[in-house]
Structure 1
């Protein structure tokens, strides 16, 4: 069982307590069903302690939680490997646990709001662009590892093609569009794909133009996830190529949500953003 942030333990405990109450069970009854001491249930529900893979699975069984998506999300929230059926687990030797958790959360999110200041968001990258970014960021890494990381990045994009796709709202600095990653040919293909994807109903793309000057998110990219099954679980992720940092304090969430709203208001409209992308693509 890995260490997980106290805020996430408390949130997990709150959700487990709600599920127990919905099942009409007391903490003592739940403990007896599982052969535990009541104090163990209390420690988990109050976030004092984390929960092991097998204990979480048994607890959810006892509470009658059968929804696979909810179980997967709770597993990711707990930082356990109970979500091991995910495709990303096959890359355990290449990507660290934090990145696997990020992908698991991404796969269960209802919406994602993302700011990118340097590169195209991973969910919108072409294969050639993804390879060029990976090689540039991880110079000297064996080709096989680069191939695996690119596979992971492209596999993540399935969330945009699911029956109920992830709703993605991306705000891009104009630098993302003008940086010649992989050369002109790669960029033309990437910009064309951005234009095509931005016309899908579940994807909203806006550009922060150079003429807008400085802005609140200029210091770095981030993602805000929201989920369908658990209320008040929005979280901010600072996403790196092979690692992720979670920000879960209420103050952090409020600050990043406010910042994203401000950037939306100052960015070009979706129509004007598409026009800018097309113009840059024609000149690439």
Structure 2
């Protein structure tokens, strides 16, 4: 288990090594092409050291990689804030966002699919402004708050964060809502979410806020890129009872897929194939035991009184 930057370095290095091999080059030959020492290529490929975006571009050019989407994803893994000649939208919030949360957002912005189990709160990508404010406000006083308000890096603020708590809260809510643009991008992120019934029953922000949030879930569930399922209390104990998780999948290669787990003081990233397989199988099992998407709509509507 590692933090976000370490996972990104290893994944980036593995992908660059595969691209070099596919181009028929040894590490020494690649180093000569870009004017480096062979040891620098080796350190990058093993994830032993970070790499600048400019260096990644040099290697991709040397390996003949022209696919725009693949290049952008690898630059994101390198930690670039300027992909395809544009700054990512979250760059404006660097003062309030810790590196771990920026890592999460950068992965989310480039993923083609996101599978998530939520046991406490509505996924951040489906939250209404009022609900997002209530969740973030409840956690902003803590040292950490996960991407969807359940633990992890979201609520941790950077060294240049505003001193005023209300201003900091406003910024974090704006970030959470801006993240939702991935569902409207072209192509959009495909979101599959399994929600424990507790998510629907927990009255966040009061009855009116919760009623609007449940209505938002009904609207989102009808989008072709969103698959929403409810795991009712009647399902009893289930494989996800130990806590929520997120699985990110990417369009270029499954080797870049990653599982994100939130804890009270950190977020952990799992990249081993056996971990990915275990969590993918767990998610599939949860979907089987959850209500169908159609029945889930009726269930949500019943709770919300719609």
Give 1:132's aligned residue. 134
Give 2:14's aligned residue. 14
The answer (yes or no) to whether the contact 1:206–1:270 under 8 Å persists in 2 is yes
The partner residue of 2:214 within 191, 197, 202 is 191
Q: Which moved more, 1:25-34 or 1:97-106?
A: 25-34
The answer (yes or no) to whether the contact 2:4–2:269 under 8 Å persists in 1 is no
The partner residue of 1:109 within 108, 111, 122 is 111
Specify every segment of 5 or more residues in structure 2 that has no aligned partner in the other structure, as ranges: 143-163
Give 1:32's aligned residue. 32
Give 2:55's aligned residue. 55
Give 1:213's aligned residue. 236
Instruction: State the distance in 2 between where 1:170 and 1:43 align.
Output: 38
Q: How many Å apart are 1:251 and its aligned residue?
A: 3.0
Give 1:77's aligned residue. 77
Change in 2 beyond 3 A, CA 1:181/1:219: same
Change in 2 beyond 3 A, CA 1:96/1:66: farther
Change in 2 beyond 3 A, CA 1:243/1:92: farther
Instruction: State the distance in 1 between where 2:275 and 2:81 align.
Output: 27
The answer (yes or no) to whether the contact 1:117–1:221 under 8 Å persists in 2 is yes
The answer (yes or no) to whether the contact 1:73–1:104 under 8 Å persists in 2 is no
Q: How many Å apart are 1:239 and its aligned residue?
A: 4.5
Aligned alpha-carbon RMSD (Å): 2.5
Instruction: State the distance in 1 between where 2:90 and 2:31 align.
Output: 33
Q: How many Å apart are 1:233 and its aligned residue?
A: 2.0
Q: How many Å apart are 1:8 and its aligned residue?
A: 4.6
Give 1:44's aligned residue. 44
The partner residue of 1:234 within 229, 243, 257 is 257
TM-score by length of 2: 0.83
Which digits, 9 at most, give the CA deviation of each residue in 1:21-79, with x for residues without a partner?
Answer: 44454433321232101222133224444323432233233334344432332233344
Instruction: State the distance in 1 between where 2:11 and 2:93 align.
Output: 28
Which structure has more relative contact order (CA 8 Å, sep 6+)? It is 2
Change in 2 beyond 3 A, CA 1:100/1:112: same
Q: Secondary structure at the match of 2:256?
A: coil
Give 2:185's aligned residue. 162
Matches within 5 A, 1:146-161: 146-161=169-184
Q: Secondary structure at the match of 1:95?
A: coil
TM-score by length of 1: 0.89
Q: Which moved more, 1:141-150 or 1:125-134?
A: 141-150
Give 2:301's aligned residue. 278
The answer (yes or no) to whether the contact 1:53–1:81 under 8 Å persists in 2 is no
Q: Which moved more, 1:271-280 or 1:244-253?
A: 244-253
Change in 2 beyond 3 A, CA 1:235/1:67: same
Instruction: State the distance in 1 between where 2:50 and 2:66 align.
Output: 21
Q: Which moved more, 1:197-206 or 1:57-66?
A: 57-66
The answer (yes or no) to whether the contact 2:194–2:290 under 8 Å persists in 1 is yes
Instruction: State the distance in 2 between where 1:34 and 1:180 align.
Output: 58
The partner residue of 1:222 within 214, 220, 245 is 245
